[in-house]
Structure 1
Amino acid sequence: MSKAPAVYILASRNKQVLYVGVTSQLVTRIWQHKNDIVSGFSQKYQVHNLVHYEQFDTIAVAIEREKQLKKWRRRWKDQLITDNNPQWLDLYDSLL
């Protein structure tokens, strides 16, 4: 898991704001978001809960998926999350 390319979706506590990202080190990257080490959107809007992630064999495929998800309508992203994580639980601890 430590070096597996992944696309992830973070949600704010009230589920009003989503953030889609890509990384090759999911645990480290989510920790950075949760601790506001990553300045920018996720820090400004307090988007810290990992509600969805997908792992891939290559970073190129992960980047393509990230681009696809970023173009999706909000309701499609909501449905993707709900299909895999109905209660929108923070999945970070399950990665450890």
Structure 2
Amino acid sequence: MTPGSGPSAGGTDVTITGTGLTGTTSVDFDGTAGTNLTVNPAGTSLTVATPAHAAGPVDVTVNNPGGNATATGGYTYLTAATGTTPPGTPGAGGNTNRAG
């Protein structure tokens, strides 16, 4: 699964490779279906957009008429980045924050 992580807001396109993916009806992230599922004609890969979810690892289940497959903890949702400014970058009012 590539990538193996993304923002908790969802919307990350994830590619899953394997065999026998033709006929896949959905891909669930901790029980919630992803969106925009597309399966390549050869059935060797699929792409799906992640739904929103709280931060942390989740199970990913590929639902297929031939049987479901689950990757336990297969995808990790990340917390949103904070709005902090790293040292040495322009701060409020155009000043540069410098140590010392």
Structure 1 length as normaliser, TM-score? Answer: 0.28
Greater fraction strand:
2
Structure 2 length as normaliser, TM-score? Answer: 0.27
Larger Rg: 2
Higher relative contact order (CA 8 A, sep 6+): 1
Greater fraction helix:
1
